[in-house]
Structure 1
Amino acid sequence: PLRDVFLNMVGQDLGKMEVWGVPLMHVGHLYGLVLCLRKKDRKLSSHLQTSLETLALGSSIAIRNALEFESMRQKSVALSTVHSVYRLMSSTRVASDLLHRMANLTLQVLNAKKCSIMLADQNGRLHPCVALGLQKGEIGTQSLDPGEGIPGLVADEGVSLRVQKPRDDPRFSLDPPDYYLSESYLSVPLFEEDVVGVITVSERMGSPNHFTVGDREVLNTLAEQAVIALMNIQYFEKQERIALKTMGTFENLFETGDPDKEGRSQKLASLMSGIAESIRIDEHTRQNFQMAAFLHSLGTLGTGVGENGEPLSASEESTKRVAMGIRMARRMDLPDNVIPIIRDQLEHFDGSGGPRGLRGDEIPLGARL
């Protein structure tokens, strides 16, 4: 296969010429060839042959060292990437926040300009969750069917792809022209048991200006850690939903005598969640609001009298209710963000409330609701 390449490179009549080849080989591994063009009537002296072999051996060792150094660098990047992902996992419990931070980390690690993360629905259709640096209509900014575009093909086949000049690639030549505005792409699947999504980067900066095999391994490591992080968040969210349902059931039982009949607290929690959703508050924060709403009413149980049975004033009763709600939140090991909502629910927007005299935006949003 090298013959035609060499002839095209030399670009002259070789009728009176011959080629000498020396392998670039070390410890049984072939790295390449040194090819020398010379006239046929000249013999290759033993001195020149020894020089070529010495050059080839030195080059082989240098190439091996360079490859080993690159391999060590890639492993170092992969290890530091794992550490970075663990830091991300501990810093947020919101899936959308995690994915955005993962995308930013990917751009930094791979020195790329663009990144998209798409998640699959039950039918295998991909939907964009994160699109950094991408223009409208570019691949990764709109939903894709299985097999459609680079991400769709990766999801459909479950294998990673490195693509140079996708518009010239017959697999993607029929895709809309606005799909591919970059020359180099790297896309890997997100695996749980099946493919749950795809992460794609494009437009690598620096040298080389295309994605390497090492880049693919690093991105695969990132993808594996991203799936673990998402699974942890999904498990945590499931536990929160179970806790919410349990709290709602007991609230209904205490207020109406029927666990299936919606009481005041359930209505308050639903109202808070609806308002929060209308102003685009994320699901995790909405769940915190609902927990606080349930505890707001649970804290009223038995708060009308003091320790010795004496009646309490309205102010004393409110203070006791808040204190009981905070104690219950801590006893139930609820998220830390729930406690400020309970604690500051008696604040007034003009600063005349208590217990801290907060005003305006100083009051947590959940407490204001």
Structure 2
Amino acid sequence: MAKRILNASASSVLLIDEEKQELFFEFADGEAGGALKEVRISVQSGIAGWVARHGRPIIVNDVARDQRFYKGVDRTTGFTTKSIMCAPLIVRNKVIGVIEVLNKLDESDFNERDLEALKAVASTAALAIDNLRIHGELLYGYSNAVRALATAIDEKDPYTCGHSQRVKEYALLCARALSLPPGELEAIEYAGLLHDIGKIGVSDATLRKAGPLTSQEWALMRNHPRIGASIVGSIPRLEEVRELILHHHEHYDGTGYPRGLKGESIPIGARLLAVADAFDTMTTNRAYRAALSMDSAIEELRRCSGTQFCPVAVEAFISGFMRRQGYLSPLYY
């Protein structure tokens, strides 16, 4: 945007790495933009470093005559800098980086009016970058909290250690095989991790029971999708995830629970989770039986395709799983 507004040959945004006291190129356009991604500059060097240290904007219309100019970037990129205008990115009275524009296209000098325009762009850019950073930090903390919840559920039963992580990975294999959009991938990732969170409401004795469950115990177990959906429904950003958790035990033919949904009325993410959950359950040891081989488990998915499982979800899983394993077996065709 700064390049276009100021009729310049190139523009870039450099952010400060506080730990290393270096500037790195967060964004760069123009002919040399691609080459700058790996370049780092000490905050003690160059005109950009001067602006970062002093927090003041500057115009240098002949860099060859300015001792602060750092020639290393031009040597790396092959670009020839003639003039530069640079302004600090300031958030809450702290410099977080700089924005710079180079070489006016008409070869005229940068002037004070240009500098005012760049300062306005810098203010907007600084706020946008700060918001993105805050969002990224919150999302990182949020993701860690979700993983911690998933781990807490898995550890209630020694036989299901790592189950939620594997279900997430298997469900994402399916989703990517279907080329689902990023928003749905994120919902499926969180739902995979949290699909069994409702088992918090089921006793350890029932979860670890080696023999058949009583009708009362089954009723409690079959209620875990509702409990999980209720827990997740109260957490911001997880509204879509709630629906996937609620319906991950629905059957394609309508015989599942909790609502007895059928076919396409079951959300696609829930259909993928059902396949991923079943596959991991079949291929890990449980208190009541030994694990099946992967080939046997895939055979069972195929056998139940169209009844318990969505055919599209089954084929997506097999396709994604086969690609990940890196081998072909006649069983898969």
TM bucket, shorter chain: 0.5 to 0.7
**Are residue 226 (structure 1) and residue 151 (structure 2) matched?**
no
Contact 2:15 2:25 in 1 (8 A): yes
The residue aligned with 2:108 is 209
Structure 1 distance, partners of 2:309, 2:9, is: 49
Structure 2 distance, partners of 1:136, 1:111, is: 17
Structure 2 distance, partners of 1:285, 1:161, is: 46
Deviation at 1:336, TM superposition (A): 6.9
The residue aligned with 1:39 is none
Contact 2:46 2:70 in 1 (8 A): no
Structure 2 distance, partners of 1:242, 1:225, is: 26
The 5 Å alignment of 1:203-282 reads 203-206=103-106, 209-257=108-156, 263-264=161-162, 267-268=165-166
The residue aligned with 2:193 is 294
Deviation at 1:144, TM superposition (A): 0.1
The residue aligned with 2:44 is 147
Contact 1:126 1:143 in 2 (8 A): yes
Contact 1:149 1:175 in 2 (8 A): no
Deviation at 1:125, TM superposition (A): 0.7
The residue aligned with 2:234 is 331
Deviation at 1:246, TM superposition (A): 3.1
The residue aligned with 1:23 is none
Structure 1 distance, partners of 2:84, 2:240, is: 41
Give the aligned CA root-mean-square deviation in angstroms: 4.9
Provide, for residues 201-238 of structure 1, a one-character-per-residue CA deviation record: whole Å limited to 9, x for no partner: 113235x7332212222221222222222222332333
Cα 1:270–1:231 shift into 2, 3 Å: farther
Structure 1 distance, partners of 2:64, 2:314, is: 58
TM-score normalised to the size of structure 2?
A: 0.53
Deviation at 1:145, TM superposition (A): 0.5
Deviation at 1:177, TM superposition (A): 5.4
Residue of 120, 130, 135 corresponding to 2:16: 120
The residue aligned with 2:5 is 109
**Are residue 188 (structure 1) and residue 100 (structure 2) matched?**
no
Partner SS state of residue 113, structure 1: strand
The residue aligned with 1:31 is none
The 5 Å alignment of 1:70-85 reads none
Cα 1:328–1:257 shift into 2, 3 Å: closer
Deviation at 1:247, TM superposition (A): 3.0
Contact 1:292 1:341 in 2 (8 A): yes
Structure 1, unmatched stretches of 5+, are 1-104, 276-283
Partner SS state of residue 346, structure 1: helix
Structure 2, unmatched stretches of 5+, are 174-182, 208-214, 246-266, 276-301, 325-333
Deviation at 1:293, TM superposition (A): 2.9
**Are residue 346 (structure 1) and residue 271 (structure 2) matched?**
yes
Structure 2 distance, partners of 1:340, 1:219, is: 47
Structure 1 distance, partners of 2:169, 2:87, is: 41
Structure 1 distance, partners of 2:240, 2:12, is: 30
Provide, for residues 121-164 of structure 1, a one-character-per-residue CA deviation record: whole Å limited to 9, x for no partner: 12321111212114279778610011322212221222212121
One-letter code of the match for 1:238?
A: E
Contact 2:16 2:24 in 1 (8 A): yes
The structure having more radius of gyration, on CA atoms, is 1
Contact 2:84 2:101 in 1 (8 A): yes
One-letter code of the match for 1:112?
A: A
Cα 1:338–1:200 shift into 2, 3 Å: farther
Cα 1:252–1:174 shift into 2, 3 Å: closer
Contact 1:134 1:141 in 2 (8 A): no
**Are residue 157 (structure 1) and residue 157 (structure 2) matched?**
no
Provide, for residues 157-179 of structure 1, a one-character-per-residue CA deviation record: whole Å limited to 9, x for no partner: 22212121312333327657537
Contact 1:265 1:297 in 2 (8 A): no
TM-score normalised to the size of structure 1?
A: 0.49
Provide, for residues 14-38 of structure 1, a one-character-per-residue CA deviation record: whole Å limited to 9, x for no partner: xxxxxxxxxxxxxxxxxxxxxxxxx
Partner SS state of residue 110, structure 2: coil
Cα 1:217–1:338 shift into 2, 3 Å: farther
Deviation at 1:249, TM superposition (A): 3.1
Percent identity over paired residues: 20
